[in-house]
Amino acid sequence: MVLLSLLALGTGRAASGASAKEQAGSLPPSELLRRLRESRAPYHTFATRFVQRKHLAILDVELQSEGMIFFRRPGSVRYEIVAPVRSLMTYDGKKVQCYTFTEGAWKLLNNPAATAIGQVLRQIGRWIQGDFDRDRKMFDIDVVPADNYAGCIRLTPRSEALTKYIRRVEIYVEKAPEYRVTRVIIRESEVDLTDMRFRQELRNPSIPEGTFSAPEASNACVGIFPPVDRPDPNESPTRSGAAGRPPS
């Protein structure tokens, strides 16, 4: 369920005409969700890089990984971790494939969780299109104010069974005119969380051949992102650490 974090793709940069008044505060929940959905409508493909930090309180460690996500309508997804280890999940609209890079080569896994992963990837596809409707069966969705953001969308599991694994997902949306999600926090417990920050989102990029089925497309996928010659705004101090004081 941590892939809920990929919702970030569904709320990327938006060509918004938000007013100055709206920029000063949070949008009403339904309005923010509507704008997110509408903002995605003009785009057929998306790609973004991300940095993921997993904090495990019992070990007092923070594991960091870097990756990228590609999407093409109606629902193809590539979710790839590129460092410090490499792994890949793809969904081409029909088939889910999981890979790991081990001992110098990609290995296709016969993953017993492939069916569940496929469900999650399809869910991601809906989110990428700004579609939260089906999630209302599993989650309570609300929007709360967050400093320096247009708002924070919170998904809280309805069932106790799901709450055992995930307490809440928090999606932080930048203020207008961007309406861009730059951070997603997945809280497994009161102390354990996964914090994802997104950067270099590309809208309507040309998708390399094999992106949604082949690990060999990895280099081509990395290649579509421009070199980072200056710090991403998402990595600035005002957007890091306790950015916006995530609501408790």
Partner 1 sequence: MGGCASLPSLGEPVNDAPRRAALLHACQRPQATEVVFRTLIHWPGREVSLTEVVKMTPEGGFRAAGITDIGSTLYAVQVAPNGASRVLSKSLPFSDRWLLDGLVAELLIPWQRPHEASQGTPNASARVGEPQLYRQSDGTWTLVHHAGNDLHLFIFDADGNWKEVRRLSGGHLRYRASLEWDGEPIPKIIRVNNPGNHYRAVRERVSLQ
What is the token pair recorded at 246? 């995530």
Contact 129, 40 (CB under 8 A): yes
Q: Does 211 bind partner 1 (CB under 8 A)?
A: no
Q: Which stretch binds partner 1 (CB under 8 A): 125-133, 184-192, 197-205, 216-224?
A: 184-192
Which residues, listed in sequence order, are joined to residue 63 by a DSSP beta bridge? 54
Q: Does 105 bind partner 1 (CB under 8 A)?
A: no
Q: Which is nearer to partner 1, 92 or 188 (CB)?
A: 188
Contact 91, 122 (CB under 8 A): yes
What SS3 class is residue 14? coil
Please report how close the Cβ of residue 156 comes to partner 1 at its closest, in angstroms. Answer: 17
**Looking only at residues 31 through 90 of this chain, which bind partner 1 when binding is defined by CB under 8 A?**
52, 54, 56, 58-61, 63, 79, 81, 84-85, 87, 89
Please report how close the Cβ of residue 194 comes to partner 1 at its closest, in angstroms. Answer: 4
Q: Which is nearer to partner 1, 35 or 78 (CB)?
A: 78
What is the token pair recorded at 121? 């990837």
Please report how close the Cβ of residue 220 comes to partner 1 at its closest, in angstroms. Answer: 21
Q: Backbone dihedral region of 118: left (phi > 0), alpha (psi from -120 to 50 degrees) or beta? A: alpha
Which residues, listed in sequence order, are joined to residue 55 by a DSSP beta bridge? 62, 193
Q: What is the rounded distance in angstroms from the CA atom of residue 2 to the CA atom of residue 55?
A: 13
Q: Which is nearer to partner 1, 84 or 237 (CB)?
A: 84
Given 15, 113, 191, 228, the residue binding partner 1 (CB under 8 A): 113
Helices within the chain (DSSP H only) = 20-24, 29-40, 114-128, 160-163, 218-223
Binding residues for partner 1, per CB under 8 A? 1-3, 5, 52, 54, 56, 58-61, 63, 79, 81, 84-85, 87, 89, 98, 100, 102-103, 107, 109-113, 165-166, 186, 188, 192, 194
